[in-house]
Amino acid sequence: MSSAAAKPNPSTLLPLELIDKCIGSRIHAILRTNKEVVGTLLGFDDYVNMVLEDVKEYETTSEGRRVTKLERILLNGSNIVMLVPGGEGPEGTVAATS
């Protein structure tokens, strides 16, 4: 990699480059279903299939929000609607609305 590629201008940063910078960090994924996932990004591929560890899965049900803790998951990239680098999930919004 050239030194120019190592320090890209933020206006020219490509999506996969941004995700690559998030490896080892927390990431919040909002999915097509009524679920959200927050975990530490271990790796991903060109289809944005992601391996996450120390995961919390948030699911909105008619009874309220269900939280499931998972050690490690493989998240299919076709289910992802939005990624929030450094995001800690919807927990803050629940406390704010209580």
CATH label of the domain that carries residue 50: 2.30.30.100
Sheet holding 64-75, edge to edge: 64-75, 50-61, 35-44, 26-31, 80-85
Q: How confident is the model at residue 94 (pLDDT cuts 50, 70, 90)?
A: very low
- Averaged over 12-37, what is the pLDDT? 93
Over 50: is that where the pLDDT of 23 sits? yes
pLDDT of residue 12: 84
Domain range enclosing 72? 15-85
Over 90: is that where the pLDDT of 38 sits? yes
Domain count, the chain: 1
pLDDT of residue 96: 38
- 48-66 pLDDT, tens per residue? 999 999 999 999 889 999 9
Q: Is residue 42, in this structure, part of any structural domain at all? A: yes
